[in-house]
Amino acid sequence: MTVLTWLAIAGAVAVALVATAEVRRHAAPRAAGRRFLRHPTAAAGVFILVFFVTTALAAPLVAPYAPADQVDPVHLQNQPPSLRFPLGTDVYSRDVWTRLVYGARLSLGIGTIAMLVAVTVGAGVGAAAGYWRGGVDALLMRSVDVGLAMPRMFVLLMAVALWERLPLALLVLLIGLTGWFGTSRLVRAEVLGLREREFVAAARAAGAGPTRVIFRHVLPNAAAPIIVSAALGIGNVILLEAGLSYLGLGVPSPLPSWGSIIYDGQPYIATAPWTAGFPGLAIALVVLALNAVGDGLRDALDPRKEPP
């Protein structure tokens, strides 16, 4: 650990603190913002998320080694946390902190991309079902029922079993494509209500076609539940990816993801608990933070809490 790395870590903390303060400053004067901040954990959640995102983005600065760097495979196996290795080393003498930081890139990245896929498909399907109703609705929603009836983990395990070595991009896509069912139900319900609103009739009377009505008038008004479900969904995806990697089926070693670090560390859980413990803690923290922010957003964006 050089002074520069410590400085970089301090910098990440500072960025997170500033961002949290900024959120507070912008939220406080608004009613919705105050509802967000009333959640005691929402601001803490923002801090944790910004911290991890910053370290992930600035990984080469924050991490003292390269992620696959085996510092001294003979003498430095499973070293406990020290000044040189703040979170210890693993059995191959790799710095756990370094792997955690690089792992954040993968874990958060997979979570975000898979969730974007899921939200896009879910919003599209839900909007189509809710807007056209009738046969379209029946067909789409019954497919959603089928999708929800299949345990997600087993679908993914099956895909892993079918491909010899599942490319990471495909894994992300699969996680996304198995995660949109809930969102589509949510969006459909919202659209069913919105399509009857007078401003939708007014837009149609002005000559707007179905695409324009859906994308300009219906979906923007359904943004709140979509955002909330996305925030809560990322946490889910991170857990799912960690689960897969923990089984040795997700991110292939030596690539670090939080799940694969735990996988690497689990045989030594009794003698070197830091190798599996710290990435586990990171997962727990980020998922909790996402849930806290998601809950806060749900309260903040709930139109029923808007004073008339």
Residue with Cβ nearer another protein (1 or 208)? 208
Binding of another protein at residue 189 (CB under 8 A)? no
Residue by residue, DSSP assigns the chain as --HHHHHHHHHHHHHHHHHHHHHHHHHTTSHHHHHHHHSTTHHHHHHHHHHHHHHHHTHHHH-SS-TT--S-TTT-TTPPP-SSSTT-B-TT--BHHHHHHHHHHHHHHHHHHHHHHHHHHHHHHHHHHHHH-HHHHHHHHHHHHHHHHS-HHHHHHHHHHHSSS--HHHHHHHHHHTS-HHHHHHHHHHHHHHTTSHHHHHHHHTT--HHHIIIIIIGGGGHHHHHHHHHHHHHHHHHHHHHHHHTTSSSPTTS--HHHHHHHHGGGTTT-HHHHHHHHHHHHHHHHHHHHHHHHHHHHH-GGGS--
Minimum CB–partner distance for residue 223 and another protein (Å):
8
Minimum CB–partner distance for residue 146 and another protein (Å):
26
Minimum CB–partner distance for residue 204 and another protein (Å):
6
Contact pattern for another protein over residues 215 through 234, marking x by CB under 8 A: -xx--xx-x-----------
Among 17, 84, 199, 215, interactor with another protein by CB under 8 A? 199
Residue with Cβ nearer another protein (24 or 212)? 212
Minimum CB–partner distance for residue 307 and another protein (Å):
11
Binding of another protein at residue 121 (CB under 8 A)? no
Residue with Cβ nearer another protein (148 or 223)? 223
Total residues interacting with another protein, rule: CB under 8 A: 19
Binding of another protein at residue 209 (CB under 8 A)? yes
Residues lying near another protein in the complex (CB under 8 A) are found at 134, 197-199, 201-209, 212, 216-217, 220-221, 223
